[in-house]
Amino acid sequence: MALQQIDQFAAKLRPDTRAAVYDGSKKGHEKRTAVLFDHYPDPDHLRRLAGNIKQHVVENLDTLLPAAAAALERNGVKVHWASTAEEANAAVLAIMQARGAKKMVKAKTMVSEETHLADYLGKNGVECVETDLGEFIIQIDGDHPSHIVKPIIHKNRREIATSFEKHGLGAYNDDPQTITRRARAHLRRKYLEADVGLTGANFVTADTGRLVLVTNEGNSRFCLAATKCHIAMVGIEKLLPRETDLGLYLNLLARSGTGQQLTVYTEFISGPRSPAQPDGPEEMHVIFVDNGRTEALASECREILRCIRCGACLNVCPVYRQASGHAYRSVYPGPVGAVLSPLLAGERFPELADLPKASSLCGACNEVCPVNIPIPDLLLRLRARGKEAGAKNAAAGTPPMGAWSLLATQPFAWRTSLTAGHTLNYVPKSLIPVPPMQTWLRDRTLPAWRGGAFRKWMKDRAKK
Amino acid sequence: MAHAQSALITPSSRPAGKRVQMMATCLCDAFYDDVARATVEVLEHLGCTVEFPEGQTCCGQPAFNGGDWEASRRVVRHTAKVFAGDLPIIVPSGSCAAMMFHGAPLEFEKQPDLPEIEALGKRAWELVDFIVHGLGVKTWPGRYQAKVAFHRSCHSRGTCTGPAALALLSSIAGIEVVPFGEGEQCCGFGGTFSVSFPNVSKGMGTLKLEHIRAAQPDVLASIDMSCMMHLGGLAEKDGKPIKTLHVAQILRDALKNA
């Protein structure tokens, strides 16, 4: 019986990496819970409300997207549509080339991770510098983010100090303030040199075409302060119907993601520089990216498109804490990733069909989700899909259920096997050639077999 | 397709009454006969008449969680047949009860017999939930001298069961319920997960045991024997066994000192 890849990854994970991921996630979850329940008498009510509004968005993209695009254009924004990652990257490059631009500074955006934008631009002669500190460290290390909000949750400061030294950012020093100061000095120059600033968007309001960005480092502001052109790559599900909805979502996002009331910087961007708004880039583009989302929308798991990328489900997930984000082999790790990544993979679904198995279905993810996504249900639906698709990696380690279902539909056979099971009490268990039982027994004992004892007791009392 | 609101919500307007059917669960059928007996004894103490349909087997959850919904539906259909009627179905397991009222309807979404399966689910009660919310029992008589760590099993998330069990246990003379760290975290059992992700499962269980041991309880209690089988098995293999009990066993044993 082959083994589950994520379990294997977890088994080989370095203890200090596991400790870093565990500590970071646990702290994130504890801060989130304290702040939410401290500030609201019934956060669950807010989560349900936010879930319903986002579900409305997901089910009405056909009208909300054109409305958002029209509002953005009224604000002087050029709107682009990209069906695939390739189209999205090409749209960015075309904007750069039209301006003769060679240098980009970039804020953290998950959708650009999906499209591998930085690599693509690099191959096409454009320097693309990550300006979020975590993403910057990922970039110089040639690493991948392992968390949606905290991309380097898997690293400790000693590792970071080592890579700073390696990349000419000063002699080894693992003091966090020194690391930050060095990165800042390096990045300030990059902001000034860049022609274009690229961001994502946390929300786009369909009624007013306002783009909302939340950050804690202020790097997205720098990206837009010194550059002439702003490009925003935005997943098509990022819409909110109305500006008045922002209050709900901003309050939930910061609390769920980082345990803050509000992130340090919340930017509301309503178009490029204009007489009414004399600051900011003179040119602004929004690229709406599909990249598998309409397929997810048409699927049995469309609720996943409510996700606002807060990372709360990662922080609380016991499997994520044991395995780390890299175990998921995709841009989106953790519970949300176990649903979203196989969906966004399209035809490559079978390659990631094991991800939905990486859950004890404990439901903690649903309990903390600010948009109340029923993640365990979606994991289950994708397990059923993986089974139908005959995905071998998904089946690994799962006992086959055919014989069991046969027994469990025939009471006589069931009762007989309850009696026959007593053999377990007499034969050395290590000799029983049933792989799942041997796996169980590696780390655990099995209680004595008592098959049929209760039924006999019930019968005996009935006779009395 | 209707979108699910939450992974688990206890159904509203379930049948109560003192004539009940009992589903023992496959784990009690095979390993934990004393838990099933305690369930009967506790229900009878409360004046219930307990029927045990002989044809019962399993709720269908193993295949449901494993992704083999065809196999699971066969078993659920069998269960629906065996438990025909309109009596409350009492299950000494939050997990199997959740399978009946939430899991089974999910895998029957596109099946013509969804209404029957939903009707079955609406009759399913986890034992403690039934005692507290079905029969209106708020406190428990008798005495049970122990420090009890109560493991809130995951399938009681979002349901009325966790608070109900804690309320009953806390009301018993002699019991001190001891809290422990990260109580909201899963023990790592997860059904087939325990053998398809043995390393992660063990990691989760080991962490849970550390938290529990730090609270120094005499007894670890739960309303799900699956979690107890996993945690108890890990502890024993580790050479540091812990005493695990189902809440029903504690309720029954407390009555002996009434």
**Contact (CB<8Å) B196/A51:** no
Query: If contacts are CB pairs under 8 Å, which of residues 4-33 in chain B contact chain A?
Result: 4-8, 24, 26, 28-33
Give every CB contact of residue B107 below 8 A, 6+ residues apart in sequence: A380, A384, B64, B69, B72, B73, B76
Considering only the beta carbons, identify the residue of B55, B58, B203 that sits closest to A322. Answer: B203
Considering only the beta carbons, identify the residue of B30, B182, B230 that sits closest to A418. Answer: B30
Question: If you average pLDDT over residues A164-181, what whole number do you get?
Answer: 95
DSSP for A188-214, written as a single string: HHHHHH-SEEEE--SEEETTT--EEEE
Cα-Cα-Cα-Cα dihedral sign, residues A47, A49, A55, A60: negative
- First-to-last alpha carbon distance for chain B, in angstroms, is 52
Query: If contacts are CB pairs under 8 Å, which of residues 57-96 in chain B contact chain A?
Result: 57-58, 60, 62-69, 71-72, 74-75, 77-78, 82
Q: What is the mean pLDDT of chain A?
A: 96
Beta carbon pairs, A and B, within 8 Å: 232
CA-based nearest distance A176→chain B, Å: 29
Predicted ipTM?
Answer: 0.95
Domains of chain B (ranges, CATH numbers): 19-133 (no CATH), 138-256 (3.40.50)
pLDDT band for position B4 (50/70/90)?
Answer: very low
Reported as a single tens digit per residue, the pLDDT across A418-464 is 999 998 898 888 888 888 999 999 999 999 999 999 999 999 988 87
Chain B residue with Cα closest to A417: B30
Question: If you average pLDDT over residues B71-97, what whole number do you get?
Answer: 97
Query: If contacts are CB pairs under 8 Å, which of residues 223-242 in chain B contact chain A?
Result: 229-230, 232-234, 236-237
Reported as a single tens digit per residue, the pLDDT across A318-330 is 999 999 999 999 9
Check residue B258 and give its pLDDT.
Answer: 81
Is the CB of residue B44 less than 8 Å away from at least one CB of chain A? no
Chain A residue with Cα closest to B73: A405
DSSP H or E segment with residue B149 = strand B143-150
**Contact (CB<8Å) B6/A374:** yes
Is the CB of residue A28 less than 8 Å away from at least one CB of chain B? no
Residue found by looking up tokens 């899963």 in the block: B186
Q: Could you tell me which residues are beta bridge partners of residue B219?
A: B148
Distances (CA, A) of A63 to A23, A81, A202, A271: 43, 15, 20, 21
**Contact (CB<8Å) A457/B4:** no
Domains of chain A (ranges, CATH numbers): 5-11+294-395 (1.10.1060.10), 42-291 (3.40.50.10420), 408-463 (no CATH)
Reported as a single tens digit per residue, the pLDDT across A319-378 is 999 999 999 999 999 999 999 999 999 999 999 999 999 999 999 999 999 999 999 999
pLDDT band for position B202 (50/70/90)?
Answer: very high
Reported as a single tens digit per residue, the pLDDT across A272-324 is 999 988 889 999 999 999 999 999 999 999 999 999 999 999 999 999 999 99
Question: If you average pLDDT over residues A108-124, what whole number do you get?
Answer: 97
Q: What is the per-residue burial (b if ≥16 Cβ within 10 Å, else e) of A310-335?
A: bbbbbbbbbbbbbbbbbbbbbbbbbb
Reported as a single tens digit per residue, the pLDDT across A213-267 is 999 999 999 999 989 999 999 999 999 999 999 999 999 999 999 999 999 999 9
DSSP for A265-314, written as a single string: EEEEE-SS-BTTB-SS-SEEEEEEE-TTHHHHHTSTTGGGGG-----HHH
pLDDT band for position B99 (50/70/90)?
Answer: very high
Considering only the beta carbons, identify the residue of A386, A400, A443 that sits closest to B202. Answer: A443
pLDDT band for position B8 (50/70/90)?
Answer: low
Chain B residues whose CB is inside 8 A of the A350 CB are: none
Q: What is the mean pLDDT of chain B?
A: 94
3-state secondary structure at position A229:
strand
Is the CB of residue B54 less than 8 Å away from at least one CB of chain A? yes
Reported as a single tens digit per residue, the pLDDT across B123-163 is 999 999 999 999 999 999 999 999 999 999 998 887 888 89
Question: If you average pLDDT over residues B34-63, what whole number do you get?
Answer: 97
Check residue B82 and give its pLDDT.
Answer: 98
Is the CB of residue B183 less than 8 Å away from at least one CB of chain A? no
Q: Which pairing describes strands A265-269 and A211-215: parallel, antiparallel, or unpaired?
A: antiparallel
